């Protein structure tokens, strides 16, 4: 079986260093907001090129707390509209509704599956106050156009960078392209902890200060609470794991790019549409092909020993959680959800296995 992602093998590569780092934390006697978190925040801010990084409990909370901080600072208020791609992972949308802001779903660009600048422009109203572009599958959204639109209309931009650690455009990395960015270090992400973790990056002093308090009960100083905050801290063990793995991120991205190139060069089947690819802006968190007979192709690959996944099978507006949107129509989004299939890609997937997947894809013919 060629697995979609062998997480155990991914972390085995660094086993000795991970064990040493965990041991260091265990022996330190200090488990929450200590030197490991401080050093990871510095390292990751430096990696992204931003002034600040604030570690939090997970990627969803990175997005929720950033929007909440903007509300506390007075840049957003209940009922403001936030533009978001209709085909994103549901977390991007949950972050908006959790703050009683109004998600405005827009159709993505049909080729890249990322937020469409044209559709964004068309969706702007007097109530629009922010845009939440998602760097889906690891490819940057069109941030140059999006920032331009934001500037013209005085909108905040929160990048959902959960899938795009290290993706860059003109040398500027994800996390440093908008006003703030939310990252996830869920174990399967390109930079993954060994549990839940997340972070926000920004260059904004006031936002960074507010977030530091919000994640820690609304407090900068013990037992002095200036906001109704929450507990959303990135613990020392996870920060230590991330400090080890951050050192290998660029190598891992290089391997993902090698696999992606092999798929792009090797797969040649009129039934399969390959993903659009724009240089360093893609770090290939997922290699997503499209096929009209997607379910059949997935079954065929499974029958031949290749595990694939679907990101994502149900569009957010078709979810029971957002019942009020179930009758809305987003044809591009719906066709993406019906056709996408993610092929195996990971830092430990061997090129022989990649070749096997390519050959199987080329031998596939729809029934
Ligand atoms: C993974 C992911 C999130 C949420 O991250 P968690 O750490 O699982 O909370 C948010 N947005 C996108 C696009 C993601 O892929």
Question: What are 136-145's pLDDT values in tens digits?
Answer: 999 999 999 9
Dump pLDDT digits (tens) for 38-57: 999 999 999 999 999 999 99
Give the per-residue pLDDT at 129.
98
pTM score above 0.85: yes
Give the per-residue pLDDT at 336.
97
Q: At what angle do helices 35-48 and 236-246 cross, to 10 degrees?
A: 40
Give the per-residue pLDDT at 20.
98
Task: Determine the atom of ligand 1 nearest the C-alpha atom of 95.
Answer: 10
Give the per-residue pLDDT at 59.
98
Q: Ligand 1: list residues with CB < 6 Å.
A: 58-60, 88-89, 91-92, 134, 160, 162-163, 184, 186, 196, 198
For 116, other C-beta atoms within 10 Å of its C-beta total 23
Distance from residue 91's CA to the centre of ligand 1 (Å): 6
Lowest mean pLDDT among 249-253, 279-283, 289-293, 304-308: 279-283
Distance from residue 174's CA to the centre of ligand 1 (Å): 15
Per 3-state DSSP, the chain is made up of helix, strand and coil in percentages (nearest 5) of: 45, 15, 40
Q: By alpha-carbon position, which residue is closest to atom 12 of ligand 1?
A: 162
Q: Give the integer Cα–Cα distance in Å for 75 and 319.
A: 30
**What integer best gives the mean pLDDT of the chain?**
97
321/222: higher pLDDT:
321
Is the CB of residue 194 less than 8 Å from the CB of residue 239?
A: no
Of the pLDDT bands very low, low, confident and very high (cuts 50, 70, 90), residue 278 is confident
Is the CB of residue 307 less than 8 Å from the CB of residue 5?
A: no
Q: Give the integer Cα–Cα distance in Å for 102 and 91.
A: 14
Q: What angle do CA 285, 269, 7 make, to 5 degrees?
A: 25
DSSP state of 222: T
Dump pLDDT digits (tens) for 172-196: 999 999 999 999 999 999 999 999 9
**135 token code pair:** 């760097």
Rounded average pLDDT over 16-32: 98
In the chain, % of residues over pLDDT 70: 100
3-state secondary structure of 107: coil
């Amino acid at each position: 079986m060629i697995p979609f992602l062998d997480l155990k093998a991914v972390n085995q590569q660094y086993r000795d260093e991970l064990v040493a780092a965990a041991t260091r934390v265990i022996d330190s006697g200090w488990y929450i907001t200590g030197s490991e978190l401080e050093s990871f925040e510095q390292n990751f801010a430096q990696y992204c090129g931003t002034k600040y990084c604030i570690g939090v409990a997970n990627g969803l909370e990175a997005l929720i707390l950033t929007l909440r901080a903007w509300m506390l600072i007075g840049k957003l208020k209940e009922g403001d509209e936030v533009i978001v791609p209709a085909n994103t992972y549901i977390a991007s949308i949950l972050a908006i509704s959790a703050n009683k802001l109004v998600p405005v779903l827009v159709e993505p660009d049909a080729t890249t599956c990322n937020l469409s600048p044209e559709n964004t422009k068309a969706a702007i109203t007097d109530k629009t106050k922010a845009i939440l572009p998602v760097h889906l599958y690891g490819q940057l959204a069109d941030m140059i156009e999006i920032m331009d639109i934001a500037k013209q209309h005085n909108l905040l931009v929160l990048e959902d960078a959960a899938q795009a650690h290290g993706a860059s455009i003109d040398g500027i990395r994800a996390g440093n392209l908008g006003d703030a960015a939310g990252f996830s270090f869920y174990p399967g992400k390109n930079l993954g902890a060994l549990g839940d973790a997340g972070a926000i990056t920004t260059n904004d002093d006031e936002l960074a200060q507010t977030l530091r308090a919000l994640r820690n009960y609304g407090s900068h100083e013990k037992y002095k609470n200036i906001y109704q905050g929450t507990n959303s801290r990135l613990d020392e063990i996870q920060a230590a794991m991330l400090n080890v793995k951050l050192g290998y991120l660029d190598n891992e991205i290089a391997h993902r790019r090698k696999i992606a190139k092999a798929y792009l060069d090797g797969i040649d089947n009129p039934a399969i549409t390959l993903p659009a690819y724009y240089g360093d802006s893609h770090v290939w968190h997922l290699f997503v092909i499209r096929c009209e007979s997607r379910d059949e192709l997935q079954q065929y690959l499974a029958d031949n020993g290749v595990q694939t996944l679907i990101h994502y099978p149900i569009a957010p507006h078709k979810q029971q959680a957002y019942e009020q949107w179930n009758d809305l129509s987003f044809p591009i989004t719906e066709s993406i959800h019906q056709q996408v299939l993610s092929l195996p890609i990971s830092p430990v997937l061997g090129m022989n296995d990649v070749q096997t997947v390519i050959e199987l894809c080329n031998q596939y013919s729809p029934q």
